Structure 1
Amino acid sequence: MEYRIGVREDTFDLQGILADRADDYKLNACFEMDDDGCLLHVPEEKRREVSVLLADVIMNGLPQNMVSKLIEKYCSSFNAYDRWRIEHMVLDSWQDMKENHGAGFARWSLRVTDEVEDYLLTSKEMMLDGFVRFRLKDWVRYWEQKVKRAAEELLIEREYMQFIRLLRIFVDTQEPKIDRVNITLDANGQYLLTDGQGEPIEDETLFEMEDELSRMQLGKADILLSSLITISPGKVHMDAHVARDAEVMETIRQVFQARLVIDQEP
């Protein structure tokens, strides 16, 4: 039986990829390459194996080109570096799911394989990119969503970094109201702020602000950061137990930079 497989992407090494994958699936196939694509010679009973092979090529060979085109379509307002980051965010998450044998990858593998096999029942020619575009529309939408989600995450990250930058400028322009503040955890796991002598910091403005932030249902980390900015200490000493919370430590480090000191456990 002969199948003619093609792809419109000039830079795609179709014959090389098919030959490599065919060995993995023990297809014992012969390949010929001409202007119309790659001709596969395989036994009649190997249709399922051919379907698995082509699904493998679609899922592992085509995504990079597809993602690049989707980024051109949906992320034209981003600069070159951000588009590069979006591409890597999308492809890295797919690679992680594949390497970790995620259920999502297994489901897509089965769906794509079944769709390829169904197509090969009535046709012996397949343009891979055209097949994906017209027969695997859910697959295309999946990648569209991943690209859009990565772009949104990048925008959120950019807004967050701008927010941190403004906080850093504000902190740097303030005169310290206290030389040192210590951040520890009390018996209930709540943040406790004390001064250089280990006494709880009592500040009416701070109490009012914390009460207001609590009513706004902000997280403990947000309340802690707001409290530190209000106190504006010269040094921030963070207990090692608090520093184990990577999100809290990183946020405070970004804002207070050299003022932050991590007190190691005795």
Structure 2
Amino acid sequence: MTYKLKIGSGRSISHLEKELSRNFQWLQERGYALNIKCEDIGKDHYLVITLQGSSDSRFFRVKDIIYIFKYQLAEVLAEEILTFWENDLVRKLVEKKYRRLPEAEKDALLQKALGFLQKCNDNESLNMLMRFGRKNRIARRIFDHLHQTDLLVIDGFINFCLRDYLTEIKFAVELASEEIKNEKEYNEFIKLLRYFVDSQAPRILEVNLMVNDAGLFYMWDGEGNYIEDKYIDYYVDDIVVNNVNLDDILVSILITIAPRRVVLHGPGKVPDNQSLQVIKKVFRDRIFTCGGCERCAGVVPRGQA
């Protein structure tokens, strides 16, 4: 039996020779010889792959061996696309759609888009599972293609047979662009809040803040007097009519007071919710964390100094 096919590309694929030899070890152990020859035709590069041998096994017919060969080849090429082509595919799309951006912003966009494609979840096992699913879909398309023809040009195959994969890449780039835009707007918002805080005199020098896991907050001054009630009354209409949440109210109160010190309290680790993240970025070196007090331990009732 002799079976031959050709893999081509506009870029060098000579590194595939070693990978193919390693992945076809199962066939080689059963007496099949794998010959890989590199050919350059103009600017195009090809690997001519020839599988030779005969099967004495009563379990595997010739067509079974060819099926296994194509299946393993599809797996190798799918991994090749994800490992060596994906970065370039994302980069080309970024260069095409956002060519007027400064290079630093293009690089940031590229890295964020690749992050969405490759590490979109904090759970590494889930990332691996999603990548495995993408690889399987690509491998299946390659496998089907190899059943129809003995020539596969990787560049053209990606452009014409992996439209759904290219759509995923396009979506990742657009999502990354939108997130970077939102990050810029958020950073401008933080700068504006810092300006408000820095440009006004503090109404209270020190504010002590405790936020529980449910998002409820308590504030008292340096002398232990609770202070939020007289400020929150100002926002009652917004809470009732405009459905403003407590996180926004908390940030607004602190911006209004503009304290020189904000001391964070809590029984154990202080919750890191969205409002506290904003407060830390706005007040920066004005933020202090309590090392442990009666209020942190929860032994002083509300309303008592």
Q: TM-score, normalised by structure 1?
A: 0.88
The yes-or-no answer on 1:70 pairing with 2:93 is: yes
CA RMSD, 1 decimal: 2.6
Which residues of structure 2 form unaligned runs of 5+?
29-33, 53-65, 294-305
Partner of 1:243: 270
1:206 is displaced (CA, Å) by 4.1
Q: Secondary structure at the match of 2:210?
A: strand
Q: Tell me the alpha carbon deviations over residues 32-61 of structure 1, each in whole angstroms, 9 at most, x when there is no partner.
A: 212142222235341111111112212222
CA distance in 2, matches of 1:139, 1:18: 25
Residue 125 (structure 2) pairs with residue 100 (structure 1): yes
Q: Which residue of 2 aligns with 1:130?
A: 156
- Give, as a single letter, the amino acid of the residue that structure 2 aligns with 1:191: F
Q: Does 1:177 align with 2:182?
A: no
Alignment of 1:10-21 (within 5 A): 13-20=12-19
The aligned counterpart of 2:303 is none
Inter-partner Cα distance in structure 2 for 1:186 and 1:3: 65
Counterpart for residue 84 of structure 1 = 107
The offset of 1:24, in angstroms, is 4.1
**Mapped partners of 1:91, 1:187: distance in 2:** 34
Check the 8 A contact 1:18/1:53 in 2, yes or no.
no
Counterpart-to-counterpart distance in 2, 1:244 and 1:190: 11
Alignment check: 8 A CA contact 2:206 2:259 kept: yes
Mean Cα deviation higher: 220-229 or 159-168? 220-229
CA distance in 1, matches of 2:91, 2:102: 14
Aligned CA distance change for structure 1 residues 248 and 186 (closer, same or farther; 3 Å): closer
The answer to whether structure 1 residue 3 and structure 2 residue 36 are counterparts is no
CA contact (8 A) 1:2 1:42 kept: yes
Distance 1:193 1:175 in 2: 19
Give 1:258's aligned amino acid: D
One-letter code aligned to 1:224 = L
- The CA distance in 2 between the partners of 1:15 and 1:35, in whole Å, is 11
Q: Which amino acid aligns with 1:100?
A: S
Q: Which amino acid aligns with 1:31?
A: I
- The one-letter code matched in structure 2 to 1:63 is E
The structure with the largest helix share of the pair is: 1
- Conserved in 1, the CA contact under 8 Å of 2:231 and 2:253? no
The match for 2:63 is none
Whichever residue aligns with residue 35 of structure 2, its letter is C
Amino acid of the residue matched to residue 20 of structure 1? Answer: E
Structure 1, unmatched stretches of 5+, are none
Which one of 21, 30, 33 corresponds to residue 35 of structure 2?
30
How far 1:236 sits from its partner (Å)? 0.8
Aligned length: 263
Matches within 5 A, 1:39-58: 39-42=48-51, 44-45=66-67, 46-58=69-81
If asked which structure has higher relative contact order (CA below 8 Å, sep 6+), I would say 1
- The CA distance in 2 between the partners of 1:87 and 1:209, in whole Å, is 42
Tell me the CA shift for residue 203 of structure 1.
6.3
Deviations 1:77-136 (A, max 9, x none): 432112111211222343336963544323322221111111111211111121011011
Percent identity of paired positions between Structure 1 and Structure 2? 25
Structure 1 stretch displaced more, 205-214 or 120-129: 205-214
Write the deviation string for residues 193-246 of structure 1: whole angstroms up to 9, x where unpaired. 111112111564542125414643344332211110011112111114573315
The one-letter code matched in structure 2 to 1:7 is: S
Alpha-carbon contact 2:265-2:289 (below 8 Å) kept: yes
Please tell me the residue identity of whatever aligns with 1:104. M
